[in-house]
Amino acid sequence: MRRRFRVTRNEDFQTIIRQNHSFAGKNFVVYYSPTTCVTNDRAGISVSKRLGNAVVRNKVKRQVRMMISEITDFKRGADLIVIVRKNYMHNDYRTNKKELNMLCEKVYNNLDALIGGYKNEEITKQ
C-alpha cells in the first residue's frame, strides 16, 4: 500500500473516528468516513501495545496493509481506520483476511448510502 493511500496524521485519525461510522468483528474494528476532497481511498492502521512488542506490532501492520491493498482498489472515496484487536494473533492470515474483507464489503455497501445522503443534504441546502 503506497504512502499516499495511508492516513498518517493523528488529526485525521481522530476526525474519522469521531464520525462514528464503524463495523466491528472479532479481530478488527473498521471506522470509515466518506471523502470528497481526496480522489483515492486512504487507510490507517492502529495496533495496540497490548498485542505485543514493536516487532510484533510492525509485523501485524505489514500484514494488515497487505490485506487492505489486496481487498480494495482505492477508488471509492473513503477513509478507513482499521483497529486490530488482540484476538488477531490467535488466527491465521487467511482467516483474518476473510474477516477484514467482509468488514470492508459492509463499509463500501453502507458508504454508497451515506454519500447519497450527503448529496441530498447539499441539494436541499442550496
Q: CATH code at 13? A: 3.30.230.10
pTM as predicted? 0.78
Flag whether 125 is in a domain.
no
**Number of domains into which the chain is organized:** 1
Flag whether 101 is in a domain.
yes
Is there a contact between 43 and 4 (Cβ–Cβ < 8 Å)? no
Quick one: which of 86, 27, 30 has its CA closest to 56?
Answer: 86
Which residues span the domain enclosing 75? 3-119
Q: Greater confidence, 94 or 119?
A: 94
- Rounded CA gap, 115 and 97, in Å? 26
Flag whether 38 is in a domain.
yes
Flag whether 58 is in a domain.
yes
9-49 residue pLDDT tens: 777 767 777 887 889 999 999 998 887 665 677 888 889 99
